[in-house]
Amino acid sequence: MCAMTGSPRSRERTESIRSTLLGRVSGFVRCPRVIRLGLRFEKGDDPVTVITNMLAEEGYLNLDALRCAFKLPETRLICRPLYPVRGRLCVRTASRRRVLKQALMLGLCTNQVFDPGRPVLWTATSLTRTVELFDHRGFYA
């Protein structure tokens, strides 16, 4: 933000302002974090192939069967990309159930919204995204 504190240009100031309502669990405006999502694949792995193979190996016939296997948030959530990328679940060593649940939820996310009503879209971009999901219902209370 740039603000003038007087007439000459020499009095101009630049201040960085960084604030968010996301993650607040108390107060008048609440947007608590629901979950953090992120998968870490091995170098050279194709994320879509790895997750699709895992889906078949675990006996799920399709994405609808996978969707029925997990309790997901029932409402849309705010989705915020997480930078720097940290705390991702290692696909190779984590339990397959945890990996598949995160892959399912990542497939229901865009960069801005988690929507349980949308079709699951697995792309290299969606599966390698690291995000935090926030419940916005306390914002409009």
- Note if the pTM is more than 0.75: yes
Domain-embedded: residue 19: no
CB 123 within 8 A of CB 140: no
Full domain range(s) for residue 95? 34-134
| Distance separating alpha carbons of residues 104 and 137, to the nearest angstrom | 23
Tell me how far apart the alpha carbons of residues 101 and 66 are, in angstroms, rounded to a whole number: 8
pLDDT digits (tens, 9 = 90+) for 55-104: 999 999 999 899 999 999 998 888 888 877 778 999 999 999 999 999 99
Does residue 6 form part of some domain? no
The residue count of the chain comes to 141
Alpha-carbon torsion, ordered 51, 57, 58, 60, to 10 deg: 80
Asked whether residue 17 is assigned to any structural domain, the reply reads no
The CA–CA distances, whole Å, from 50 to 34, 106, 119 equal 26, 14, 20
Domains in the chain: how many in total? 1
